[in-house]
Amino acid sequence: MLLVTGGAGYIGSHFVKTYLDTHPQAQVVVVDDLSEGHREALAFSDRIRFIQEDIGNVEGMIQVLQSQGIEAIVHFAASCYVGESQTNPTKYFQNNVVKTLNLFKAMDQAGVKRIVFSSTCATYGNPVRMPLDETHPQNPINIYGLTKLMIEQALRGYCETLGWSAFALRYFNAAGADESGLIGELHDPETHLIPLVLRAAQGKSKAIDIYGEDYDTPDGTCIRDYIHVTDLAHAHIKALEKLQASTGFDAINLGTTHGASVKEIIAICGEVTGKPIPVNVAGRRPGDPPRLVANADKALNVLGWKTQFDLRTIIRTAWAWEEGGKYATDRLTASHA
Ligand code: UDP
């Protein structure tokens, strides 16, 4: 049986949906404390055993691992705001490091040795070369990236000493929503570019702030590698398959290799929505490198995975989710019919 921690969150719920869609006989166990996730994000299937629990509760997690017959874990549960990690580092060290080390303690005691871990390109820090490959130095410039790096290193240690098998998957910019429209991105507060641009298109905000247009990039705005959340989910499935036949630790970038600038995103959002998008040029956001793009060769070579969805599909599915009323009860009920 597979355990998904943080399965009620944005990326976690898309993983659960994609996993169940591609494994029609399977069930999964989800542990989430619902501090950030949404119970409705898992209403699309009755093949989910939902357990509201804190991953930092060692006794509680040993009980879950043993009673549910858990053989492998996909670990998404974490706090994920870079800005907040700088103002409240204690929250990030506790939630992302201490609680994850407690989960590892529970795994050790219950004899679970396989795990896929959500890591991030924020572990690299300021790029010294581009595109970023997995051998790029890891010098995170924010607490969020540091907490993820600390766990990568702990995992490497468990793999070397106790024979665990683990992948750390370093995400670039996750975006978009499941094609069904049943689940999508719902953060509070929302800080990510694409949902904020779409809300400006809906008239829910006065304008989208562009954080700096004086960078050394072709149009002066920052470039990021936006990857569809369902593509990310498929990479986790490939990683799980690979873990069954191997031991040891490996880290792999999940990105598209294509960068898009803030202004390019706004332009495509305008085309997809057919709506004018008012912009406001604001100052630079501290800690934003001008360009972050993945080298994704290793994902192809090791996992046999590459992305399927383009930027337009990312924005089209994100728009359908924003316009569809989010976890609308009528659609969730219809999904079981
Ligand atoms: N960005 C922006 N306005 C916003 C939010 C983000 O210009 O309201 C920019 C941000 O500076 C970065 C890019 O959009 O260059 C992506 O930011 P996001 O927060 O979505 O992801 P990050 O790359 O920080 O993980």
Q: Which of 144, 158, 171, 226 is catalytic?
A: 144
What domains can you pick out in the chain, each with its CATH number? 2-175+227-255+294-308 (3.40.50.720)
CA of 216 relative to ligand 1 center, distance in Å: 16
| Residue at token pair 């009860």 | 329
CA 198 to chain centre: 20
Residues 17, 44 contacting (CB under 8 angstroms): yes
CA of 124 relative to ligand 1 center, distance in Å: 17
For residues 231 and 211, what is the distance between their CA atoms, to the nearest angstrom? 27
Which token pair is 229?
């959340």
Angle at which helices 58-67 and 99-110 cross, to 10°: 40
For residues 224 and 294, what is the distance between their CA atoms, to the nearest angstrom? 9
For residues 211-229, one letter each, b for 16 or more C-beta atoms within 10 angstroms of the residue's C-beta and e for the rest, the string is: bbbebebeebbbbbbbbbb
Q: What is the pLDDT along the chain (337 residues), one digit of tens a residue?
A: 999 999 999 999 999 999 999 999 999 999 999 999 999 999 999 999 999 999 999 999 999 999 999 999 999 999 999 989 999 999 999 999 999 999 999 999 999 999 999 999 999 999 999 999 999 999 999 999 999 999 999 999 999 999 999 999 999 999 999 999 999 999 888 999 999 999 999 999 999 999 999 999 999 999 999 999 999 999 999 999 999 998 899 999 999 999 999 999 999 999 999 999 999 999 998 888 899 999 999 999 999 999 999 999 999 999 999 998 778 766 555 555 4
Residues 3, 74 contacting (CB under 8 angstroms): yes
Mutate to test the pocket of ligand 1, among 285, 292, 293, 314 (most ligand atoms within 8 A of CB): 285
- Does the C-beta of 173 come closer than 6 Å to ligand 1? yes
Residues 123, 147 contacting (CB under 8 angstroms): no
Which token pair is 111?
């004899």
Reference 107, options 64, 150, 148; nearest CA is: 64
For residues 40 and 182, what is the distance between their CA atoms, to the nearest angstrom? 9
Task: Report the residue count for the chain.
Answer: 337
Residues 111, 62 contacting (CB under 8 angstroms): no
For residues 120 and 241, what is the distance between their CA atoms, to the nearest angstrom? 21
Q: Which amino acid is at 257?
A: T
Residues 3, 70 contacting (CB under 8 angstroms): yes
Q: Break the chain down into helix, strand, coil percent, rounded to 5.
A: 40, 20, 40
CA of 111 relative to ligand 1 center, distance in Å: 40
For residues 119 and 264, what is the distance between their CA atoms, to the nearest angstrom? 26
Residues 162, 110 contacting (CB under 8 angstroms): no
